[in-house]
Structure 1
């Protein structure tokens, strides 16, 4: 579904991503793990067309992605759940979710999807009319994922969904991510919590200093002594 070849991202004279290549197959959850500053979020921002790469190409379902403007990605079936959540703080929870469906005209299906999101995140249903900026960090992360689901994506890009959340909230968020993946959603997961990311994904890529240093099935990466020492605190 997604093929990345030789992707390079720079900020001024600093190379954040140094010619990486990887792929994500349809129906697969793939984790991109690494320390802070490894280039994970820069990679995702390039895929979401929020920054312009200086080299490489990206094909999504056979189409060159880097030639498309950012706003067209939703119509192509790509949804980003950004680092920091990026909710609309002055809108209600319900209004935020409906913004995820802004490009859709199928009103009845939108209402069904809204109920589906509320079934995944009952807490959002309880706070449907609450101003989103007053939600807790975990609730805002639920909202960001729910808003992405409202666009009916084929590929979801998740950027650090556990960042800054209490352990119990992280557990709830990843339960839903597992559920969504089990329903056939293709997911590229960027996550600093390597253990958690590898536990929920099928394959993983280890990123170091802007390059991919290792790729393997997630279960094998979890068992790799070097990965365990470097990223799992063992």
Structure 2
């Protein structure tokens, strides 16, 4: 269970992120405690992916503070955030399509030199994602969308993250794969990895999340437990396709 008596693993304070003159994230506060699965839901263009990319260091922060494990990391470059245990599975998966599945997985461990540990983690990924093992020597670009998503998650796990950022993992996938992806996410959380999930399938995301934030127009407009937001009339109307 998440420990809310200690400092958050991640805290965003008044975070602002811009694309040129356009402010995409307009001063948000958000926090995650170790061991939590927290969702960020909202319509397209709400600022969810921008928020994840700012946490990962891919986008610069215009204003505000990003604290990770009690340390301000606003200007820490992305590769050093990975070293500190922060991994992103980007929207669209971002796999290396011309490399094999195995080469992709090993790219996830590029920051590590513990060969025995890497091999043990490879085996663990194979247990969690048997489809990935079956395709080990296949060129990654020939995998189905669901298989590519599993590979992207497996690659991120090879960096041994403390915090895993998942951007739209179920997008465009068949229902069976969506179910499998959410099973894997739950397994990862049970093993102690903290997860911040951006997900278009708000219904599933809220069912599995301890807490959630709703983003709209670059602002956080609602927050609460996954259960509470799942039954909130405004959320049901706006994001779950139900009449208020």
Separation (CA, whole Å) in 2 of partners of 1:103 and 1:226: 44
Aligned-pair CA distance for 1:65: 1.4
* Alignment gaps of 5+ in structure 1: none
Match in the other structure for 1:122: 130
2:161 is the alignment partner of 1:153: yes
Separation (CA, whole Å) in 2 of partners of 1:184 and 1:49: 23
Partner of residue 146 from structure 2, selected from 121, 138, 142: 138
| 2:122 match: secondary structure | helix
2:39 is the alignment partner of 1:31: yes
Match in the other structure for 2:172: 164
2:115 is the alignment partner of 1:107: yes
**Structure 1 ranges of 4+ moved more than 4 A:** none
Separation (CA, whole Å) in 2 of partners of 1:164 and 1:57: 34
Partner of residue 46 from structure 1, selected from 46, 49, 54: 54
Aligned-pair CA distance for 1:50: 0.6
Separation (CA, whole Å) in 1 of partners of 2:78 and 2:85: 12
Partner of residue 213 from structure 2, selected from 201, 205, 219: 205
Separation (CA, whole Å) in 2 of partners of 1:12 and 1:64: 24
Separation (CA, whole Å) in 2 of partners of 1:139 and 1:6: 37
Aligned-pair CA distance for 1:15: 1.2
Aligned-pair CA distance for 1:189: 0.5
Alignment of 1:12-91 (within 5 A): 12-91=20-99
Aligned-pair CA distance for 1:174: 0.7
Partner of residue 195 from structure 2, selected from 174, 187, 190: 187
| 1:164 match: secondary structure | coil
| 2:184 match: secondary structure | helix
Aligned-pair CA distance for 1:153: 0.6
Separation (CA, whole Å) in 2 of partners of 1:182 and 1:50: 28
Separation (CA, whole Å) in 1 of partners of 2:111 and 2:189: 23
TM-score by length of 2: 0.95
Separation (CA, whole Å) in 1 of partners of 2:187 and 2:133: 18
Aligned residues between the structures: 234
Separation (CA, whole Å) in 2 of partners of 1:219 and 1:206: 13
Separation (CA, whole Å) in 1 of partners of 2:173 and 2:233: 28
Aligned-pair CA distance for 1:165: 0.9
| 1:42 match: secondary structure | helix
Aligned-pair CA distance for 1:70: 1.0
Aligned-pair CA distance for 1:106: 0.8
